[in-house]
Amino acid sequence: MSSSESRPPVPPFTRESAMTKVRLAEDGWNARDPERVSLAYTPDSSWRNRAEFVTGRSAIVQFLGRKWAKELDYRLIKELWAFDGNRIAVRYAYEWHDDSGNWFRSYGNENWEFDENGLMARRFACINDLPIREADRKFHWPLGRRPDDHPGLSELGL
């Protein structure tokens, strides 16, 4: 595997490196660039996302393209839940609206397993969607990376 296929931090994770990995994942997903995001995963990465099973970078790119075409103005916050060795568990929430202007906050948990180069080999996601009023949104920042001074999930009471 080439050095371009390495994604530090790499396992085994410390609390600090796991928190860094979580923030890097959040930043990548908030950029909403399927090709770029797919590079954080092994070429044969295996996902379960809700009831959909995805394998490989090409399928990840297709999946994320469909996702972000449907989930408009997507803004995500991830928070470290637990870590051990080459595994990290996170909880997250994201806000988005559909093409009719209906807003949602989606809550979920993910379990991640990384290879020795820091690429995610397995991702298991459970997600629930809650319809919200636009006035109830909590994620207010320009599209893209969440600013460092924007509250996280715990600070927002989520």
**Stretch 67-96: mean pLDDT, rounded?**
98
Q: What band does 36 get if pLDDT is binned at 50, 70 and 90?
A: very high
Share of the chain above pLDDT 70, in %: 97
**Stretch 28-40: mean pLDDT, rounded?**
98
Identify whether 141 is part of a domain.
no
Alpha carbon separation from 53 to 2, 4, 102, 124, 135 (Å, rounded): 27, 27, 27, 9, 34
Domain that residue 63 falls in? 3-136
Residue 143 has pLDDT above 70, yes or no: yes
Identify whether 154 is part of a domain.
no
Contact between 120 and 99 under an 8 Å Cβ cutoff? The reply is no
Identify whether 155 is part of a domain.
no
Q: Is 68 in a helix, a strand, or coil?
A: helix
Sign of CA dihedral 152, 154, 156, 158: positive
Name, in order, each residue with C-beta under 8 angstroms of 39's C-beta and a sequence gap of 6 or more: 7, 57
How many domains, the chain? 1
Sign of CA dihedral 147, 42, 67, 13: negative
Distance CA 8, CA 59 (A): 23
pLDDT at 4: 64
For 37, left (φ over 0), alpha (ψ -120 to 50), or beta? Answer: alpha
Mean pLDDT taken over the chain? 96
CATH code of the domain in which 50 resides: 3.10.450.50
**Stretch 110-133: mean pLDDT, rounded?**
98
The single-letter code of the amino acid at 26 is: E
Identify whether 45 is part of a domain.
yes
The single-letter code of the amino acid at 97 is: H
Residue 63 has pLDDT above 50, yes or no: yes
The Cβ-side half-sphere exposure at 135, using a 13 Å CA radius, reads: 0
Q: What band does 95 get if pLDDT is binned at 50, 70 and 90?
A: very high
Identify whether 39 is part of a domain.
yes
pLDDT at 3: 47
Distance CA 152, CA 106 (A): 15
pLDDT at 115: 98
